Amino acid sequence: MDTGKMIADQFKALQQHICSELNKADGQAEFKMNAWTKDIGQGVSGVMQGGKYIEKAAVNFSHVGGTYSEQMAKLLGEEASTYTATGVSSILHPVNVHVPIIHMNVRYFELDNGTRWFGGGIDLTPHYIVKEDARWFHEELKAVCDSAHPEFYDRFKPWADDYFFLPHRNETRGVGGIFFDRLKPGEELGERELLEFCIQLGRLYPQVYAALILRHGDKAVNEAQKAWQGLRRGRYVEFNLVHDRGTKFGLVSGGNTESILLSMPPIANWEYMHEPEAGSEEAKTLELLKKGIDWLNV
């Protein structure tokens, strides 16, 4: 059996499930599916714009492969001649500032030297941090982790803190989540168990977001809050273009540029030396953008 093809089929079905669930959650707009083919492989870009609650969303599937370049070797630290990669990546930018930005990706990578692994993650980026939401989000992640391996949450939570971090700002991207990479079949779990963990994480993603839309999607928003949303989106752009390894790998591998950059928000702002008023909700959020917070016990 072609392992990469089997996993790609599972991930493509996951993409369809996520889009279907988010269509229901928004209730107004629906995903448009754009299939693409390039020399390195194929994929489907699912895009939603102008929804009632979701301003812009991307749920992308890809299955690619080919020559393993020197740039890839530098990024991944592995020597090989050819590679195969498949996965689902998604980003949701909400209309309402009280609904967070959320990101998820799951992926499988295989080299012709016999090395193969799973990776992925999910993280939450609130414009305004609500501690109760952050605690609930991490509880949901821990439950999925615990169903696969009792040590996964404790290992992957700090990994997310370190990964989703803007060193030039000295702040985390949001309240974190989990991040994992190089999970190789046979080291702790088998291929089937690792794939199932990725699938369950992907299925949690729209479930979590639908709940957050119900909690906050219809709250009133004033002009000052809308301006703050633009600034926080700007931080998101900075991370994705400067630090995100998935963006870098997609571009150096010759992937579909439009799909790779779908993670960008529709509108973002930067303001020189912006300082929120002391004691404001904006200032309180900045104070919580730190590594190492135990969100399960805030």
Please give the positions annotated as active site.
Answer: 103
Do residues 148 and 189 lie in contact, with contact meaning Cβ atoms separated by under 8 Å? yes
Spatial neighbors of 283 by CB under 8 A, at least 6 apart, are 276, 277
Do residues 239 and 265 lie in contact, with contact meaning Cβ atoms separated by under 8 Å? no
HEC secondary structure over 118-166: EEEEEEEECCCCCHHHHHHHHHHHHHHHHHHCCCHHHHHHHHHHHHCEE
Backbone angle region of 170, left / alpha / beta, with phi > 0 → left and psi within -120 to 50 → alpha: left
Q: What does the alpha-carbon distance between residue 177 and residue 295 come to, in Å, rounded to a whole number?
A: 9
CA distances for 188 relative to 106, 114, 148, 184, angstroms: 18, 17, 10, 8
HEC secondary structure over 4-39: HHHHHHHHHHHHHHHHHHHHHHHCCCCCEEEEEEEC
CA angle centred on 232, ends 229 and 238, rounded to 5°: 145
Count other Cβ atoms within 10 Å, centred on residue 169. Answer: 13
